[in-house]
Structure 1
Amino acid sequence: MDKARILIVEDDHAHGVMLEVMLSGWGYDVVRVEDGEAAVEQVRAQPFDAVLTDIRMARMDGITALHHIRAINPALPVLIMTAYSSVESAIQAVREGAYDYLQKPLDFEHLRLALARAVDHGRLKLENVRLREVVERASGEPELVGSSPAMRELFRTIDAVAPTEATVLITGESGTGKELVARAIHRASLRASGPLVTVNCAALPEQLLESELFGHEKGAFTGADRPRDGRFLKAHGGTLFLDEMGELPLAVQAKLLRAVQEGEVQRLGSDRITRVDVRILAATNRDLAAEVAAGRFREDLYYRLSVITVAVPPLRARREDIVLLAHHFLQRYAERNHRAVRAFSPRAMDALLRHDWPGNVRELQNAVERAVILCPAETIDLEDLPASVRSAVERAPQEGAGSPGSLEDAERERILEVLRETGGNKSQAARILGITRVTLRAKMRRYGIEDEDRQAKSLAGLSQ
């Protein structure tokens, strides 16, 4: 892999040179400038993997530079360096799109790890864009989002099987996106100009399902007042997608086998055989091999359907895609519902990453849509998520207390500092912090800061 290129923006010449030497020693290709204006010009002129910038500079401060850089390349990670006195500004910068902030004097090991994460994050975004372009060319469906190893393998399989005429069995748990995979295969196939017809095998009773698949003549059964073409005939020249294949009754399986194997269908109530040209895609959340062993699914039909098997991974097996999916759904539902929701708080994202997602992508999609609708601010917080998603964080012990660069730790320390300065006066502290008294009390509860008389006594003790 090529060396990652880092742009250092630091108006303290000696500190900037020291950083340049250190990052070069870590294997980075480094460009160093001494003000925000020069940084913006560099980002405009050449590609970078990350930007490391001071927040306070004489010519264009780091926050202003951040806005210009994000306008040029929104995917470029920007890390902010700040003195303790400017922590509030750094937190605001993160809310406005900075990747992370680091407090001076720098902890160099933390800097090394933060840079590595930022570079990986930026390259992951670019790779995800490329992978999504491949899938969208194949499917026209933007919902197939992911850049994890499991999803990259899925995309490669779609590209390989789509141009063939092979019957494909798509397996995976409910909510993983099996129908999206079927649509991707169809749209990248040589049959893309033909119809894609879907049948949900679990949604209809046996007689109606047989009629849906093969059609019927007038009078074939009670209520059949006119002849009707089945889904096989409607899919002629295209693709038939049989969803929930494991729910198919045995009697219908026998007739389906002939249709798949011979390309022939027979309407209910008719003696006439009709030839059809259809490619079959099937999907199931069941283990069909186990169903065959139990006598609930025909072995010959199973082997006919599973010429190629495509396994769609559950969300818990590709947790690295949760961030991408969550932001994808946030943007979609914010636009659809005319909501000004733009981001997730660290606590909310932590909850999304910790949850096991038994309902997979569909559950995540529903959780984000609900949060977008109910969120009263621009940032989705933990309280906006469903209780089932919040519970993983609420049960978990607090980790990383005091770790450098933690937004929540820095905010907690700043609140404590201001409360010390004001002798525990919340109204005065809220004005200094630039928030309402109600918000301050909520943050104190969140961070476990003692309240009222206990807080005053604690502060008095600290001052002695």
Structure 2
Amino acid sequence: MSPVARRLCLIEDDPIMGESLADRFALEGFTLDWYQTGGAALEGMKRHSYGAIISDVRLPDISGEQVFLTAVEQSDFVPPFIFITAFASVERAVEMLKRGATDYITKPFDIGELVAKIRLAVGQHISPAPTTHESPIGVSRQMLALAESLPRIAQRARITLVTGESGVGKEVLAQYLHELGGKPDSPFVAVNCGAIPETLLEAEFFGAERGAYTGADRARRGYFEQAHGGTLFLDEIGELPQSMQVKLLRAIQEQQVRRLGSDKVIPVELRIVCATNRNLQSLVKEGRFREDLYYRVNVVNLNIPPLRDRPKDILWLARRILVQQAERLGEPTKTLAPAAQAALLAHPWPGNVRELSNRIERACVLSIGPVLSAHELFDDHAAAPELGNTGLPTLDEFLAEAERAFIESALAREGGRIAMTAAALGVSRKTLWEKMKRLGIKVPDTEAPGG
């Protein structure tokens, strides 16, 4: 992408919207000149060449339409021009499209959608999908693509929004972002916004001095102070009442807090990861979530798909959970019978990864054998999957997964010794090596292929 295409002009008088857009486009590798009036933008257009122009329709001096029409009159070439408009101004934006503007986007909008429009306008293509076959958060195509973006986000984004259904692993993703971007010993503070009584929210978030309220017998730090130098994870941010939303926005903007009962301002430096299973755009339209806070927290939106939409992750996650349970219980790692694997793949997982973890943990606790059966995972008849349901993998995919799990289990029993594993499986060493290579099973470092 040329330097001109990479340079954008933003005309936006709202400081929160402007800062959010500036942060996101910087993350995307663009240079952005931000003007808060139409007049200043027109002067800037005389001095600089831009790949695209983004303008709010309503500005404090002249309208966005007037900026566009003036630019058309003053120049032989006007770069792609995209309007930001409220619903009531859509007709005005559409009229500008008829006169040569490129596109418009209606508030409230996902900043990622605007980024996609800009990339299309300047002719920049999306980077290809990652070539790696595994990541710390999953092996499905969706999770690999998500994992590829995380190192850059962890190093550059001060605030991130993680969305997805309940139980998909939003806190796990937040912890991974923390590990990628923070110091190993920096704090990770997780908060369930929906579990705090409204009367205690301000004290819990920002702290309180002794005597600030009834029962405050000592000074205490709030979540922002506790997370200083690390990451504050605000789960279910959509549950915060509006009275607290405005206070949270101020703390995020100013990067400082004031304890209840104190006039002292305490600066804080931290990464904030917000999460929700609600549609914040809908809450904004309903008047239940502040629009300015929405744009402040939605600089980068990482959406985690439900487990039913990424079946390739199911058995991968199951094996990781089995290892974790073995370490917790101090016993050998259990494996899954082929029928158990088929049952896991057929289940719709309304509770997502949390449900998968709970079922495997319960089975590990109750099972006395080394191999978990489908019945031990689904002993509740109402939840037991019907293997004829849609969404199953192909027969070849299932057989490959079952063969991989069986060989990995045999290798574990034989301590990774190829010759003994091959003998136990009734195949030659060469055949076992070939199957391991085809199935992507890691070869023990102490072994080398032989005839």
Give the shorter-chain TM-score range: 0.5 to 0.7
1:63-74 matches, cutoff 5 A: none
1:5-154 matches, cutoff 5 A: 128=133, 131-132=134-135, 135=136, 144=137, 146-154=138-146
My pick for the range that moved more, 264-273 or 385-394, is 385-394
Does the C-alpha gap of structure 1 residues 225 and 324 become closer, same or farther in structure 2, counting only changes over 3 Å? same
User: CA shift at 1:290, angstroms?
Assistant: 0.8
My pick for the range that moved more, 377-386 or 259-268, is 377-386
Of residues 384, 391, 415, the one that matches 1:391 is 384
Of residues 190, 194, 210, the one that matches 2:186 is 194
Of residues 372, 375, 383, the one that matches 1:380 is 372
Deviations 1:21-50 (A, max 9, x none): xxxxxxxxxxxxxxxxxxxxxxxxxxxxxx
Of residues 237, 262, 272, the one that matches 1:270 is 262
| Alignment match, 2:282 | 290
Deviations 1:139-183 (A, max 9, x none): xxxxx3x21101101101212201114310011111111111111
Q: Is the 8 A contact 1:242 1:280 kept in 2?
A: yes
Deviations 1:197-244 (A, max 9, x none): 222211110122211111112222110112222111222222221111
What CA distance in whole angstroms lies between the structure 2 residues aligned with 1:194 and 1:376? 40
1:441-452 matches, cutoff 5 A: none
Q: Is the 8 A contact 2:158 2:270 kept in 1?
A: no
What CA distance in whole angstroms lies between the structure 2 residues aligned with 1:280 and 1:396? 41
What CA distance in whole angstroms lies between the structure 1 residues aligned with 2:388 and 2:381? 11
| Alignment match, 1:178 | 170
Counterpart residue type for residue 164 of structure 1 = R
User: CA shift at 1:264, angstroms?
Assistant: 2.1
Residue 368 of structure 1 aligns to a residue whose secondary structure is helix
Residue 242 of structure 1 aligns to a residue whose secondary structure is strand
Counterpart residue type for residue 320 of structure 1 = K
Does the C-alpha gap of structure 1 residues 254 and 149 become closer, same or farther in structure 2, counting only changes over 3 Å? same
User: CA shift at 1:196, angstroms?
Assistant: 2.0
Residue 286 of structure 1 aligns to a residue whose secondary structure is coil
Of residues 349, 360, 369, the one that matches 1:368 is 360
CA RMSD for the aligned pairs?
Answer: 2.9
| Paired residue total | 266
Of residues 271, 275, 280, the one that matches 2:272 is 280
What CA distance in whole angstroms lies between the structure 2 residues aligned with 1:227 and 1:336? 37
Does residue 166 of the first structure (1) align with residue 164 of the second (2)?
A: no
> In terms of Rg, which structure is larger?
1
Structure 2: runs of 5 or more not aligned: 1-130, 401-451
What CA distance in whole angstroms lies between the structure 2 residues aligned with 1:219 and 1:390? 51
What CA distance in whole angstroms lies between the structure 2 residues aligned with 1:322 and 1:406? 15
What CA distance in whole angstroms lies between the structure 2 residues aligned with 1:172 and 1:294? 20
Residue 376 of structure 1 aligns to a residue whose secondary structure is coil
| Alignment match, 2:244 | 252
What CA distance in whole angstroms lies between the structure 1 residues aligned with 2:178 and 2:327? 28
Counterpart residue type for residue 385 of structure 2 = A
Deviations 1:348-374 (A, max 9, x none): 111100101011111111111112222
User: CA shift at 1:395, angstroms?
Assistant: 7.0
TM-score (norm 1): 0.53
Structure 1: runs of 5 or more not aligned: 1-125, 136-143, 408-464
Does the C-alpha gap of structure 1 residues 390 and 217 become closer, same or farther in structure 2, counting only changes over 3 Å? closer
Residue 188 of structure 1 aligns to a residue whose secondary structure is helix
Does the C-alpha gap of structure 1 residues 406 and 159 become closer, same or farther in structure 2, counting only changes over 3 Å? closer
Does the C-alpha gap of structure 1 residues 343 and 259 become closer, same or farther in structure 2, counting only changes over 3 Å? same
Of residues 221, 225, 243, the one that matches 2:217 is 225
Residue 174 of structure 1 aligns to a residue whose secondary structure is coil
Does the C-alpha gap of structure 1 residues 350 and 159 become closer, same or farther in structure 2, counting only changes over 3 Å? same
